Amino acid sequence: MIFDIAPQIRGYLTPADLLISEGTFHFTTEKNQLLQGGYIFQIQGEGFIFNLSIQNLNLVVQRNETVSVLSLDKIPEKTKLGFFIMWSYSELTLICKYGKKEEEQLKSVVPNSPIAPPNNLLKWTRLNNLIPTKEYESAEAFRTKIHSCLTTINEKIEESGGFYPFWNISYKKGKIVNRQPKNEIEVQPIVQCLLSDQMLASSIEIIPEFKGGIGNLDFLFIGQVNNRGSVYFCAEFKNAHSEKILDGLTKQLPAYIKNKKADYGAYCVLNYFGEWLKPSEKTKNIEFEIKKTRLSMERPFVDTIRVFNFNLAKPISASKI
C-alpha cells in the first residue's frame, strides 16, 4: 500500500479527503514552482489508484484507469495559478485559472467510472483518527487532526442517513407537513456529538459558541503543542442559503482568528440544497463561489483557512434515480 501526500500540503489535505467518492481539491501556486515536477499525492492499494502529479509542466491526475492531463506550457512564467481537481461518480475534472477573466482558464473533463476505495484504506483512516494523542509536534499536526475529524462528519451522515436531525420537521398524523433547515446555533450540539469521540481520543477540547469579545465563534478547538503549550483553531459554521455566506468567510472567521491569535481556521458550509430546499439563482453555484472566494483572499488567510462542505440534503431514493 502507498499513501503519500507532499509535505507542502500534508497539513491541509488529509488521507480521508482523498478516499471519498466525490470531492474537490484546490490549491494555488506560481508556474515557476512547478518546473521540477513530482507527485502532489499518490495512493495505491488493492486495485485502487489515485495520483496527482506535475510531469513536464503537465498537471496529471489518474484515478484507476482514468487519466486526465492539463498542459501548462502556454501560461506565462511567474503567473499565479489556481487549480481545481474535482472527481465524481461520472467525471474527472481539472481546471487551471491563471487570471480573473472567465476565458483565462484551462479545463479538462473526462468520463470516469464509479470507484470505491478498498476497505483496508478506509479502515486505516478511521482508526488513525482514534489513536490516542496527548500532545502534538506542531500546530500543523494539530490542524491535520482537526481536518481529519471534520471530514468524518459527511461520512457519518451518509452512512447512517443522519440528515434528519439537521432539519426542523413538523408532522401531522404521521406525515411531514413542513421542514426547515436548522440555524447554525441549533446545529452545534449535533456537530459536537459527531466529533466528541475523536476529539476525546485526540485530547482536543471543544468549546461551542465561544464568546471572544467581537461576537460568538461557533467552535473553538484547543490542543497542546510540544514546547509551545495551548494552540487554537477556529471553526465557523454557516448555512449555504444564508445571505452572509461569503461575509462569514472573508470577514467573520478572519476576525475570530485574529482575535484569538489562532494559527488556523475552518469555514464549514451547511448545504441543505436538494429535494427539500431548492437553491435560488444566486446560490445555485454557491459551493464553487465559496471556493473561488477563498482562493482570492489575502495572506495569511488564503493559506490558513480551509472550507468544508457538509451535505445535509435529503438523499435521492433509489426508486427515483
| Domain co-membership, 138 together with 240 | yes
- Stronger pLDDT, 316 or 157, i.e. the higher one: 157
Closest CA to 19 of 37, 38, 36, 1: 1
Determine the 3-state secondary structure of 277 from DSSP: coil
| Domain co-membership, 91 together with 187 | no
Confidence of residue 306 (pLDDT cuts 50, 70, 90): very high
Determine the 3-state secondary structure of 216 from DSSP: strand
Confidence of residue 240 (pLDDT cuts 50, 70, 90): very high
pLDDT in tens, 260-270: 999 999 999 99
> How much is the pLDDT for 317?
60
What is the share, in percent, of the chain residues with pLDDT greater than 70?
98
Residues 284-298, mean pLDDT to the nearest whole number: 87
> How much is the pLDDT for 99?
83
Cell of 174: 404521521
| Domain co-membership, 94 together with 194 | no
| Domain co-membership, 290 together with 237 | yes
pLDDT at 29 over 80: yes
Cell of 317: 431514493
| Domain co-membership, 196 together with 257 | yes
In a domain, residue 120? The reply is no
| Domain co-membership, 195 together with 295 | yes
> Phi/psi class of residue 274: alpha, beta or left (left: φ > 0; alpha: ψ in -120 to 50)?
left
How far apart CA 126 and CA 16 sit, in angstroms, is 8
> How much is the pLDDT for 167?
94
DSSP 107: E
> How much is the pLDDT for 292?
84
CATH number at residue 46: 2.60.120
How far apart CA 225 and CA 146 sit, in angstroms, is 14
| Domain co-membership, 157 together with 288 | yes
Q: Which helix (H) or strand (E) holds 141?
A: helix 139-160
pLDDT in tens, 82-114: 888 998 888 999 999 888 777 788 999 999 887
> How much is the pLDDT for 212?
75
Q: Examine residue 315 and say whether the peptide bond preceding it is cis (omega within 30 degrees of 0).
A: no
> How much is the pLDDT for 316?
67
Residues 170-189, mean pLDDT to the nearest whole number: 90
Contact 199/221 with Cβ under 8 angstroms?
yes
| Domain co-membership, 101 together with 164 | no
| Domain co-membership, 107 together with 12 | yes
Which backbone phi and psi does 25 adopt, to 5 degrees? -125, 135
Residues 243-247, mean pLDDT to the nearest whole number: 94
pLDDT in tens, 32-74: 888 888 889 998 877 888 999 999 889 999 998 899 999 988 8
| Domain co-membership, 139 together with 207 | yes
| Domain co-membership, 259 together with 140 | yes
**Average pLDDT score over the chain:** 88
| Domain co-membership, 208 together with 297 | yes
Cell of 72: 501548462
Which residues are registered as beta bridge partners of 224? 230
Instruction: Look up the domain containing 190 and give its range.
Output: 130-314
Contact 231/222 with Cβ under 8 angstroms?
yes
- Strands 80-87 vs 91-97: parallel, antiparallel or unpaired: antiparallel
How many structural domains is the chain composed of?
2
pLDDT at 80 over 90: no
> How much is the pLDDT for 319?
52
> How much is the pLDDT for 302?
85
